[in-house]
Amino acid sequence: AIYNINQVSFRQAITPERMQGRMNATMRFIVWGTIPVGTITGGFLGGLIGLHETIWVGAIATLFAFVPVFLGPVRSIVTMPQPAGQTAVNDPTGEAVDETPGPVVGSPRASLDQE
């Protein structure tokens, strides 16, 4: 529960508002999309080495699930980064950069903008 609150807050803090929906959909696809892979792997492993042994493998793997986060760059973050296009509180220039993309050439929106 604590991990989920922290990771969602972090993702929302560093993702521009216009990209929040895509980011959330992508994360849900990655997280929920791996469930069938784990189910198939667990069933295969259960048939290969037995159910009790498979449960032990899962329990031990769960104990070490923190290792990628622990060894990754997330630990070194001291302050929350600002999303693109927003001015940081301690930014010496005080200027925000507008990184809003324009319409893609050939898209329906681009043809509407030209009319």
Cα–Cα distance measured from residue 33 to residue 83, given in angstroms and rounded to the nearest whole number: 27
- Mean pLDDT score across all residues of the chain: 79
User: Is pTM, for the whole model, over 0.75?
Assistant: no
> C-alpha distances in angstroms, 46 versus 32, 34, 42, 54, 103?
22, 18, 6, 5, 51
pLDDT in tens, 12-32: 888 888 899 999 999 999 889
pLDDT in tens, 47-63: 999 999 999 999 999 99
